[in-house]
């Protein structure tokens, strides 16, 4: 069982993104022709035939608005896939960390309470995926300055999910 909780994009944020994304562009839904695109609303891969959208998302900016942090230049936005309509969110019986595949490369980026990067590390996901993530996240939260962690794909820099200490979250 995973030690930390991967947080999906919150429902109120998803509602906004389904109208206009964080770059101010309208949401343009389409039908997935293949399976696998990582959905940040329910933390699973899309299935062929599902209505999805690729939107620009600024996770640190959204967190900063909740906490009054000032990330400055660390505020960034990037593409994420979401369901085009409201979904159930992550399955209650989901196990492990989302978008995890042995051998895949991830960055585990740490942010302080002001939203500034205070460290990070490269994680090559080991065969025991949960243990690898648990160790990387334990290392991150061992630093008392760390307020949250973003896990991103190395290949495209895509935001995968957020983790807050002790499951604190939305």
Residues 6+ apart with CB under 8 A from 101: 125, 129
Domain spans of the chain, in order of start: 11-83, 105-163
pLDDT of 170 reads 45
What is the Cα 88 distance to its own chain's centre? Answer: 17
Let me know: does 169 contact 161? Beta carbons within 8 Å.
no
Angle at CA of residue 137, ends 159 and 58, nearest 5°: 20
Low-confidence ranges of the chain (pLDDT < 70): 1, 167-170
Which pLDDT score, from 0 to 100, does residue 169 have? 46
The percent of residues in the chain predicted with pLDDT above 90, rounded, is 88
CB burial string 55-78: b at 16+ within 10 A, e below: bebbbbbbbbeeeebebeebbebb
pLDDT tens for residues 77-108? Answer: 999 999 999 999 999 888 899 999 999 999 99
User: How far apart are the C-alpha atoms of 107 and 150, rounded to whole Å?
Assistant: 8
Question: Quick one: 81 exposed, middle or buried, by C-beta within 10 A (0-12, 13-18, 19+)?
Answer: buried
Closest of 131, 132, 107 to residue 120, by C-alpha: 107
User: Tokens for 99?
Assistant: 């978008």
Q: What is the pTM of this model?
A: 0.91
């Amino acid at each position: 069982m995973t030690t930390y909780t991967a947080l999906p994009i919150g429902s109120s944020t998803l509602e906004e993104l389904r109208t206009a994304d964080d770059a101010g562009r309208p949401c343009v839904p389409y039908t997935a022709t293949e399976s696998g695109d990582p959905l940040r609303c329910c933390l699973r891969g899309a299935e062929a035939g599902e209505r999805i959208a690729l939107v620009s998302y600024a996770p640190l900016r959204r967190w900063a608005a909740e906490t009054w942090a000032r990330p400055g230049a660390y505020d960034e936005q990037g593409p994420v896939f979401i369901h085009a309509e409201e979904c159930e969110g992550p399955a209650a019986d989901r196990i492990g960390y989302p978008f995890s595949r042995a051998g895949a490369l991830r960055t585990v980026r740490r942010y302080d309470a002001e939203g500034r990067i205070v460290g990070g590390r490269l994680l090559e996901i080991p065969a025991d995926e949960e243990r690898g993530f648990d160790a990387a996240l334990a290392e991150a939260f061992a630093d008392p300055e760390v307020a949250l962690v973003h896990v991103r794909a190395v290949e495209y820099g895509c935001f995968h999910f957020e983790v807050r200490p002790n499951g604190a979250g939305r």
